[in-house]
């Protein structure tokens, strides 16, 4: 057994199953955007309201609040939506549990304790497993998404904060409070490299070009990791306290990286197609922009504001705010159906 992986007893019982599935999510992602579909085709937007213990459900096409879901836990912080849109996974920071919500009935169907301060959750590319970062335990818990069972844990650096998977599913990237991104071999469940980054690297995501994008929230910049070398390929300063990133289009230009910058109350738009990163524009939004997500065709972005307690829908073609929807208190994370 390798020195980086600590498996629990239940995992040893089911080890043949894990060896068969490799915990990789090896089905390749086909980029960030799904094949084009008509506007108005049932886009659902969800916000994790950390101080209300709820998730708000919104119609992302008609800009209406559809309802609120009680997570039956405390401090919902992060969201991960299954690729078919049927399951919503919610981390609950205050009590270390993950809530699984059936999106059709809008009811929780499972609550799983993973560790102290369950911070973020990411689904593998084939949706077979959920990886949860337990920020106070310095571990990643791996959950079977069918039986809601913890299969094992992987020790990582101090304070895991963000998780993203490479397009081919061979690597997981975990950012930690010790200013590192840990590269994990998803077959061996082993940390194979640590990449130095900046302070408080809060967020990671897979970009449309197959690179891993992250923010240094304790500073003023973002970074891009090349998964072929597992080295930093580019950085750019965007402003104080950059939070999260989504990718969308401006007309035919793009995809661009839309970055919520809390210190400016703006979205900073970065050209994501050029080897040399550059800022295209800045968009004024509400107070405390944090969570951000794009619709499936990259023409709208949805932005959660932790101070003004709302979600704004922004037209990426005109950079105009189309609607402002009231949600629960401190909407820290936003996701939308693909």
Place of tokens 């101090």: 158
The two beta strands, 139-144 and 129-134, are: antiparallel
What residues pair up with 206 in beta bridges, in sequence order? 212
- Nearest-angstrom CA–CA distance, 291 and 23: 27
Q: How is residue 190 written in tokens?
A: 């082993």
- Nearest-angstrom CA–CA distance, 230 and 198: 16
What residues pair up with 87 in beta bridges, in sequence order? 102
Q: How is residue 202 written in tokens?
A: 């809060």
310-337: average pLDDT = 98
| pLDDT on residue 338 | 80
CA atoms within 13 A on the CB side of 196: 0
| pLDDT on residue 275 | 80
- Tell me which DSSP letter residue 80 carries: E
pLDDT tens profile 201-210:
999 999 999 9
pLDDT tens profile 126-177:
999 999 999 999 999 999 999 999 999 999 999 999 999 999 999 999 999 9
Q: How is residue 285 written in tokens?
A: 């939004």
- Tell me which DSSP letter residue 34 carries: P
Statement: residue 23 has pLDDT above 60:
no
Place of tokens 């999510």: 25
Measured between its terminal Cα atoms, the distance across the chain in Å is 38
- Nearest-angstrom CA–CA distance, 116 and 137: 6
Statement: residue 310 has pLDDT above 50:
yes
pLDDT tens profile 251-287:
998 999 999 999 999 999 999 988 889 999 999 999 9
Determine if the peptide bond prior to 255 is cis (ω within 30°).
yes
| pLDDT on residue 328 | 98
- Nearest-angstrom CA–CA distance, 167 and 205: 11
Statement: residue 6 has pLDDT above 90:
no
| pLDDT on residue 150 | 98
Domains, the chain, with CATH or none: 1-28+73-195 (2.130.10.10), 50-62+238-338 (2.130.10.10)
Statement: residue 9 has pLDDT above 70:
no
Place of tokens 């932790």: 306
8-29: average pLDDT = 36
**Cα–Cα distance list, 50 to 47, 84, 119 (Å):** 9, 25, 11
9-33: average pLDDT = 36
- Nearest-angstrom CA–CA distance, 226 and 106: 38
**Band (48; pLDDT cuts 50, 70, 90):** very high
3-state secondary structure of 317: coil
Q: How is residue 139 written in tokens?
A: 């571990």
3-state secondary structure of 29: coil
Statement: residue 103 has pLDDT above 60:
yes
- Nearest-angstrom CA–CA distance, 97 and 44: 24
The residues, any chain, with a CB within 8 Å of residue 26's CB and separated by 6 or more, are 125, 126, 168, 169, 170
Nearest to 201 by CA among 133, 268, 131: 133
- Nearest-angstrom CA–CA distance, 332 and 284: 18
- Nearest-angstrom CA–CA distance, 82 and 337: 9
Looking at every residue in the chain, the average pLDDT score rounds to 90
């Amino acid at each position: 057994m390798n020195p980086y992986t600590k498996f629990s007893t239940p995992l040893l019982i089911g080890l043949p199953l894990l060896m068969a599935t490799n915990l990789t999510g090896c089905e390749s992602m086909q980029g960030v955007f799904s094949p084009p579909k008509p506007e108005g085709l049932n886009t659902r937007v969800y916000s994790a309201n950390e101080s209300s213990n709820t998730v708000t459900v919104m119609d992302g096409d008609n800009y209406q609040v559809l309802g609120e879901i009680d997570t039956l836990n405390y401090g919902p912080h992060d969201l991960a939506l299954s690729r078919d849109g049927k399951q919503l996974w919610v981390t609950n920071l205050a009590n270390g549990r993950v809530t699984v919500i059936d999106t059709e009935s809008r009811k929780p169907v499972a609550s799983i304790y993973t560790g102290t301060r369950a911070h973020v959750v990411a689904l593998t590319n084939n949706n077979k497993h959920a990886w949860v970062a337990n920020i106070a335990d310095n571990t990643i818990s791996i959950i079977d998404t069918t039986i809601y069972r913890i299969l094992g844990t992987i020790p990582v650096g101090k304070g895991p904060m963000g998780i993203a998977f490479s397009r081919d599913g061979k690597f997981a990237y975990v950012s930690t409070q010790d200013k590192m991104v840990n590269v994990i071999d998803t077959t061996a469940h082993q940390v194979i490299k640590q990449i130095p980054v900046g302070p408080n690297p809060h967020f990671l995501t897979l970009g449309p070009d197959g690179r891993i994008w992250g923010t240094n929230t304790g500073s003023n910049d973002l970074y891009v990791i090349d998964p072929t070398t597992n080295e930093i390929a580019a950085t750019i300063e965007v402003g104080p306290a950059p939070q999260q990133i989504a990718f969308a289009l401006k007309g035919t230009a793009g995809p661009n990286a839309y970055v919520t910058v809390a210190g400016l109350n703006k979205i900073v738009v970065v050209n994501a197609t050029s080897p040399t990163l550059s800022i295209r524009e800045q968009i004024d939004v509400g107070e405390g922009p944090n969570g951000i997500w794009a619709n499936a065709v990259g023409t709208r972005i949805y932005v959660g504001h932790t101070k003004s307690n709302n979600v704004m829908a922004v037209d990426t073609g005109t950079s105009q705010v189309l609607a402002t929807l009231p949600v629960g208190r401190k909407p820290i994370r936003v996701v939308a159906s693909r």
